[in-house]
Amino acid sequence: MDNRHKGGLRPRPNIGPIGAPGVAPEHAVSSGGAALDPSRAKQPAAKRPSVMQSPVLVLNATFEPINVTAVRRALVLMLKGVAQAEETNHHEVHSTSKAIQVPSVIRLLSYRHIPQQSRALSRKNILLRDRNTCQFCGATFPASELTLDHVMPRSRGGRSSWENLVACCYACNNSKGDRTPEEAGLKLQRRPRPFTLHTSRQLMRLIGHRDEKWRKYLFY
């Protein structure tokens, strides 16, 4: 028996991600230790992100999409009275006194002026812009398997800017070394550019393509 059941204590419910299936019970095991039905033997469950980290589309007071945030941050904005939910999903989060439906789309209650360039220059945003794709070999990788490369090496005056930083896998980064792409025999998939309104909208569509509630706000 699971230790959590000893003493009459009930285990805490596991709040999984949106639409996460339940975990099937463990199959019987023979005396030799082998599963009776190997084809249905329980496999280790892959670690899934918490529902609190699910993406939420943020709209300005004018219903213009301006950002994507996590459920946790969206709930904070709602509880502070800064935003309200426009769309929700089937999950709920519970406090000591009430239950709140998890938002899928929120809208700010006061208009916020959003400058043309609203994203900070960071590794995370460079990878977002380049869609986790190495800009030399064109392969897509998890964020942990990517680094940033200065197209014009820093040793030659290359700056850390939107126009000079690209996502790069470690193999291409090692191959390029302290050279320009031309000197290393590499070719950029596309020229690096700063974030624009068009780039931000494209990324919002990419992040929320599975949520149909976003579609009417992103003008698919």
Dist CA 198 CA 47 (whole Å): 33
Buried b (16+ CB within 10 A) or exposed e, 163-199: ebbbbbbeebeeebeeeebeeeebeeeeebeebeeee
Give the closest residue to 147 by CA, choosing from 159, 137, 156, 134: 134
Dist CA 157 CA 60 (whole Å): 40
The more confident residue out of 4 and 108 is: 108
SS3 of residue 74 by DSSP: helix
Residue 84: which H helix or E strand, with range? Answer: strand 83-94
Task: Name the token pair of 163.
Answer: 């126009």
φ, ψ at 207 (rounded to 5°): -70, -40
Find the range with the poorest average confidence among 57-66, 109-118, 166-175, 195-204.
Answer: 195-204
Predicted local distance difference test score (pLDDT) of residue 76: 95
Predicted local distance difference test score (pLDDT) of residue 84: 97
Dist CA 217 CA 90 (whole Å): 20
Domains of the chain: 51-115+199-213 (no CATH), 123-184 (1.10.30.50)
Find the range with the poorest average confidence among 23-32, 68-77, 100-109.
Answer: 23-32
Residue 37 has pLDDT above 70, yes or no: no
Residue 8 has pLDDT above 80, yes or no: no
Residue 14 has pLDDT above 50, yes or no: no
116-162 pLDDT, tens digit each: 655 678 898 898 889 899 999 999 999 899 999 999 999 999 999 99
Dist CA 119 CA 172 (whole Å): 27
Predicted local distance difference test score (pLDDT) of residue 25: 38
Residue 114 has pLDDT above 90, yes or no: no
Task: Name the token pair of 204.
Answer: 């919002």
Dist CA 129 CA 85 (whole Å): 27
Which residue, chain included where needed, has tokens 């509630």? 213
The pTM assigned to this predicted structure is 0.51
Q: What's the mean per-residue pLDDT of the chain?
A: 78
Predicted local distance difference test score (pLDDT) of residue 73: 94
Task: Name the token pair of 196.
Answer: 């624009």
Burial class (CB in 10 A: 0-12, 13-18, 19+), 44: exposed
Residue 100 has pLDDT above 50, yes or no: yes
Dist CA 208 CA 217 (whole Å): 11
197-210 pLDDT, tens digit each: 666 777 777 776 77
